[in-house]
Amino acid sequence: MADTAYGSDENVQQAAQEGIDVISPTLGKPKSKEEKLILDDFPVDRETGRVTGCPGGEAPCEIREGEKGKLTITFDATICAGCDHREYCCVGLDADHRWEYTPKQLRLAQRRVAEESDEFCEKYRQRSGIEAVNAKLKRVMKLGRLRVRGRARVRYTVNLKVLGWNILQAVRA
């Protein structure tokens, strides 16, 4: 469980290779859904990582894989012209009615969708409890800036300060 700074695609991929599941919000913001449709809105085959259709339900005419795994999907221009979504569809706005995305963009989009689930919110909710303790340790016990140098001395000082914090909490209880 980590904060957003550790939620980059590179960190998540590296952790997955080592068998670690990172629970963290996705780094960066998606383009606004109000302005136009984004990758999150398109149905995707999870096994192949390819868009299987548009939000209007139409299948792409062509899917090409380019350099570094970049995928280009093309939709039929006549179908796009009569679509209800054409005003704010990223495909319909392109003159060629095609759209490009990378595997990284797809992974980030899928993670953003997962972040909206109740399961993710329940798991990540636990982090807020520890953040309050960390903030109090930093503010009350002055852990933000230590007056010692060296790993051993820092560890010793932090352990003593946390021990003092625990004693304070026991007295308050």
Instruction: Say what the pTM is.
Output: 0.67
pLDDT of residue 94: 62
Q: How far apart are CA 165 and CA 171, in angstroms?
A: 10
Q: How far apart are CA 139 and CA 122, in angstroms?
A: 28
pLDDT of residue 91: 67
Q: How far apart are CA 64 and CA 134, in angstroms?
A: 49
pLDDT of residue 96: 75
Report the first-to-last Cα separation within the chain, whole angstroms.
28
pLDDT of residue 160: 94
pLDDT of residue 153: 96
Which residues sit opposite 50 in a β-bridge? Answer: 45
pLDDT of residue 17: 93
pLDDT of residue 29: 67
pLDDT of residue 92: 56
Q: How far apart are CA 142 and CA 158, in angstroms?
A: 10
Q: What is the dihedral of CA 55, 122, 25, 44, to 10 degrees?
A: -20
pLDDT of residue 152: 96
The pairing of strands 62-65 and 50-51 is unpaired
pLDDT of residue 85: 76
pLDDT tens across the length of the chain (173 residues): 888 888 888 988 999 999 998 888 887 766 666 667 778 888 888 788 788 888 888 888 888 888 878 888 888 888 777 887 777 776 655 667 778 888 888 888 888 888 888 998 888 888 877 888 888 899 989 898 899 999 999 999 999 999 999 999 999 98
